[in-house]
Amino acid sequence: MKIQKVGVLGSGLMGSGIAEVCARAGYPTVVREVNEELLEKGMERIRGSLDKAVEKGKLEAAKRDEAAARLTGTVDLAAFEDCDLVVEAIVENPDEKRQTFAALDTAVKPEAIFASNTSSLTITQLAMSTKRPDRFVGLHFFNPVPVMKLVEVVRTLATSDDTFQTAFAFAKAIGKEPVAARDNSGFIVNRLLVPYILDAIRAYEEGVGSLEDIDKAMQLGCGYPMGPFALLDFVGLDTTYYIANIMFEEYREKRFAPPPLLKQMVLAGRLGRKSGRGFYDYAKK
Ligand SMILES: NC(=O)c1ccc[n+]([C@@H]2O[C@H](COP(=O)([O-])OP(=O)(O)OC[C@H]3O[C@@H](n4cnc5c(N)ncnc54)[C@H](O)[C@@H]3O)[C@@H](O)[C@H]2O)c1
């Protein structure tokens, strides 16, 4: 199957990045949000990111303008009707995602492929909320999407070979490096990364070191580009909390259990960079 037009659900951190890379790669791309205000915020984020790429000399101004012209925003699911691929990047909540996919199933042409960017839910449980589980895959991108090369392409027992190959080829066509992953909660990267960042919070709770020192130690001692708390603020504490709960529910192993401090910070609205404060205070920075 040939992908000619892409729909992206959600224009938060991930949806805006996914829409940007699709538009930059030449695909007419429709972005859908729940209301006009959030849509405008998302479109503004995409425009800002495109401008930044031009400023850094990574994108020609003419290419930015072409990419921007390929993007349209909507609050209406019906605008996805003729998309060949719809990538979902909404909140990490199984009920919300399942309801949205069920609605999408009637709004979008039957031959189109659906993909979820979920971090921790199984693709199978989302696929089964539609009548097209054979045309359903995981396309798991990494933050920030325009920069990070990896995409995990996830197939379920029901995914057809054609769908998997089309999704794999699409990831390459938008300039990413795909890897194939089995449909286990967390796929490859989060299966290994989530226990590490949760353990960093536990180490901090136990007084092993200050936030700054734990971050510095992991950067300089392991060669990581950023420490676990800088990473948590980047990913979003709310998203991490949802992911940990889902993975704990799935595996029932302590290493996936969200530490109390993570929950308290989410309840206090300290969600990381996106809310101006997480483990670090970005108003001060
Ligand atoms: N943050 C990360 O680093 C990261 C990395 C990989 C995957 N993910 C996954 O990507 C998904 C989105 O995460 P995020 O960090 O972008 O979250 P986010 O909170 O930044 O954005 C989610 C957006 O989806 C919108 N939304 C909610 N319901 C919607 C609907 N029915 N239709 C359209 N839009 C809707 C919200 O208004 C919000 O703007 C989650 O499944 C998450 O697990 C996140």
What average pLDDT is seen over the chain? 97
Q: Does residue 242 belong to any structural domain of this protein?
A: yes
Q: Ligand 1: distance of its center to the CA of 89 in Å? A: 5
Q: What is the pLDDT of residue 1?
A: 80
Report which protein residue has its CA nearest ligand 1's atom 27.
Answer: 90
Q: Are residues 175 and 81 in the same domain?
A: yes
167 pLDDT exceeds 70? yes
In the predicted model, is pLDDT for residue 258 greater than 90? yes
54 lines ligand 1 (CB under 6 A): no
Please say whether the beta carbons of 97 and 124 come within 8 A.
no
Domain that holds residue 61: 6-182
Residue nearest to atom 3 of ligand 1 (CA): 235
* pLDDT (tens digit per residue) in 260-279: 999 999 999 999 999 999 99
Task: Yes or no: say if 87 and 48 are a contact pair by the CB < 8 Å rule.
Answer: no
Q: 1 in a domain, yes or no?
A: no
Looking at the fold, whether 222 and 133 belong to one and the same domain comes out as no
Share of the chain above pLDDT 90, in %: 99
Q: What is the pLDDT of residues 93-141, one digit of tens each?
A: 999 999 999 999 999 999 999 999 999 999 999 999 999 999 999 999 9
What pLDDT score does 164 carry? 98
Of the residues 123, 158, 182, the one at which a domain ends? 182
Active site residue 190: yes
Listed in sequence order, the residues at least 6 apart from 137 whose beta carbon sits closer than 8 Å to its beta carbon are 113, 114, 115, 123, 153, 154, 155, 156, 159, 163, 164, 167
Is residue 210 among the annotated active site residues? no
| 113/13 same-domain check | yes
Q: Is 73 in the pocket of ligand 1 (CB under 6 A)?
A: no
Q: In angstroms, what is the span from residue 207 Cα to ligand 1's centroid? A: 32
Would you say the C-alpha torsion 129, 139, 172, 57 has a positive or negative sign? positive
C-alpha of residue 166 to centroid of ligand 1, in Å: 24
Per-residue pLDDT at 285? 62
Residue 215 token pair:
């971050």
DSSP for residue 258: P
Q: Single out the residue in 182, 211, 228 at which a domain terminates.
A: 182
For residue range 194-252, list pLDDT tens digits in order. Answer: 999 999 999 999 999 999 999 999 999 999 999 999 999 999 999 999 999 999 999 99
Ligand 1 centroid–CA 12 distance in Å is 5
CA distance 115 to 138: 5
Q: Which of 143, 139, 101 is nearest to 230 (CA)?
A: 143
The closest residue, in CA terms, to atom 31 on ligand 1 is: 100
In a domain, 187, yes or no: no
Looking up residue 125, the CATH number of its domain turns out to be: 3.40.50.720
Among 182, 204, 224, where does a domain finish? 182
Please tell me which residue in 119, 120, 129, 185 is annotated as part of the active site.
119
Evaluate whether residue 283 is within a structural domain. Answer: no
Segment 12-57, tens digit of pLDDT: 999 999 999 999 999 999 999 999 999 999 999 999 999 999 999 9
Domain co-membership, 204 together with 151:
no
Residues 164 and 212 in one domain: no
So what's the pLDDT on residue 222?
A: 98
Q: Count of domains in the chain? A: 2
